[in-house]
Amino acid sequence: MSRVAMLPVEQWEPSLVDLLDARHKKSAELGLMRIFAHRPEAAKAFAGFAAASASGGTLPARLIELVRLRIAFHNQCRTCMSVRYQAGVDDGVDEALVCSLEKPAEADALTSAEKSALQFADRFATDHLSIDDATIDDLRKHFSEAEIVELGMFVASSVGFGRLAAVFNMLEDLPDEYQGDGRLAPWAVPPVRTGK
């Protein structure tokens, strides 16, 4: 059971509900917003940041989805691991590619740019102080300065908010495979839904 009460949409401030389109008003699709709704102004700011990041982004949806899933593994955010976002699926993220995230440095299906971004994400999620000039220089082989900033902001928000989701333990809407105490990986359990 979630450690913090999740508010049903019917109890949200109307201006917060107005930010959602019809397909995201189902409980299971809302993620942390069900808890953030306790603080509507902060929830709206979070939604605005997420929307601006998604709509103004230049990085491929495939790359973003791969990075998000790898960070979900490090965070052990079961909600994050269970979701496959449609934009990533449409850009080629299938379950075989997700399985390559178990050992990304050895995966033939990943591009060198994806491997570089995943290495950055791994280090950010597990030992951020190990990121040095060489790490950023490796990113520069594949990405512009603006794209490095975009990647960094996405990784930072994924690490922080994914950890918050894991701490809040929002498991009610997830199938049995995502329940329990053991360590999970997105390449070891089936996805339960595809989101935005």
pLDDT in tens, 90-146: 999 999 999 999 999 999 999 999 999 999 999 999 999 999 999 999 999 999 999
Domains contained in the chain, CATH given: 1-56 (no CATH), 59-195 (1.20.1290.10)
118 vs 114: CA distance, rounded Å: 6
The answer to whether the beta carbons of residues 2 and 171 sit under 8 Å apart is yes
Q: Which parts of the chain register pLDDT below 50?
A: 23
Q: Determine the pLDDT at residue 179.
A: 85
Q: Determine the pLDDT at residue 68.
A: 97
The answer to whether the beta carbons of residues 100 and 93 sit under 8 Å apart is no
